[in-house]
Amino acid sequence: MKRQGIFLVLVMLMLLVGRGGFAQIAADEALSKFVEAGMAYQNEDYDTAIKKYEEILRGGRESGAVYYNLGNSYFRKGDLGRTVLNYERAMRLIPRDSDLKFNDRYLRARINAYDGGKAQSFLSQAIGDFVGFYTKDEMALIIAVLVLILAALFLLSLYRNWPKMRFYGIGTVLLVLILAYSLGLAMKVKQNAGLAVVVTATDALFEPRADSTVHFKLSPGAKATILIREGDWMKIRRLDGKVGWTPGKTLEEI
């Protein structure tokens, strides 16, 4: 039995080492493809660049830099819908990247993507900026750290026998921060749920039938929320609240 146990342990160690080796190989391959894609982009071979970046993503190596560069490659090919799509995906991973933000603003100034929104108030803009400043993982981590700090301070106050008002003052500030980040995270999750980008100009119809009446038009780069998937059709809601049916291939979820 002891020999069998030792053998099993050795096998497990070999598997763990093997997995680590495979992971390193996969990382090296992704880096190699990333470099190749960059060189192809510099040589204006945008099809090859797109192919290499998408191979990296299919291999599970998702990153903001890959999405950003993929968006740039699609932009050079004149595919504005997929440019917006990949910029949006990059924004979820590197929301504070200055080059990404500049390119995204420049692109949206060029395309006719209906945003359906009125001018935002200062408060709405401030909340949007706050929510957009962080990734979901960052906000979740900040909440966890604040909760741990609050718990540690509570235990310390009991151990040190602090005056209640001293703990209440610090605790209130921490609770407000926890609440703010929790609400921000909830807003981010709600906003992102089912959000998609139009990659091919299309008409939104009243019913999921090719011969149905056109309700409104969607241009490449426009965003809409996917409500229902029904066969090859999707029921979507535009940002102004209008609802219609479109062929599924015309939008891609962010």
Fold topology of 195-253: SH3 type barrels. (2.30.30)
- The reported pLDDT for the residue numbered 112 is 57
Q: For residue 39, how many other CB atoms are within 10 A of its CB?
A: 13
Q: What is the pLDDT of residue 173?
A: 92
Mean of the pLDDT values across residues 175-198?
A: 93
Q: Write out pLDDT tens, residues 132-163.
A: 999 999 999 999 999 999 999 888 888 888 77
pLDDT given at position 50? 96
Mean pLDDT of the chain: 85
Q: Is the pLDDT of residue 88 over 60?
A: yes
Q: Specify whether the CB–CB gap between 233 and 246 falls below 8 A.
A: yes
> Which residue blocks in the chain are alpha helix, DSSP H?
2-42, 46-58, 64-76, 80-91, 98-110, 122-133, 136-160, 164-192
Q: Please tell me the predicted confidence (pLDDT) of residue 157.
A: 84
Measured CA to CA in angstroms, residue 42 lies from 38, 49, 73, 173 at distances of 6, 9, 10, 50
* Confidence (pLDDT) at 128: 84
CB 64 within 8 Å of CB 36: no
What's the pLDDT at 118? 52
Per-domain boundaries in the chain: 2-110, 122-192, 195-253
Query: Which residue shows structure tokens 């192809």?
Result: 40
Rounded distance between C-alpha atoms, residue 30 and residue 157, angstroms: 50
Residue 23's pLDDT is what? 52
Higher pLDDT, 4 or 122: 122
The pLDDT tens digits for 12-68 are 444 444 444 545 556 778 888 999 999 999 999 999 999 999 999 998 889 999 999
* pLDDT computed for residue 167 by the predictor: 75
More confident: 235 or 7: 235
2-110 fold: 1.25.40
Mean of the pLDDT values across residues 127-132?
87
First-last CA distance in the chain: 53
User: What is the model's pLDDT at position 3?
Assistant: 46
39 phi and psi angles, rounded to 5 deg: -65, -40
> How does residue 249 score in pLDDT terms, banded at 50, 70 and 90?
confident
Q: Provide the whole-model pTM.
A: 0.82
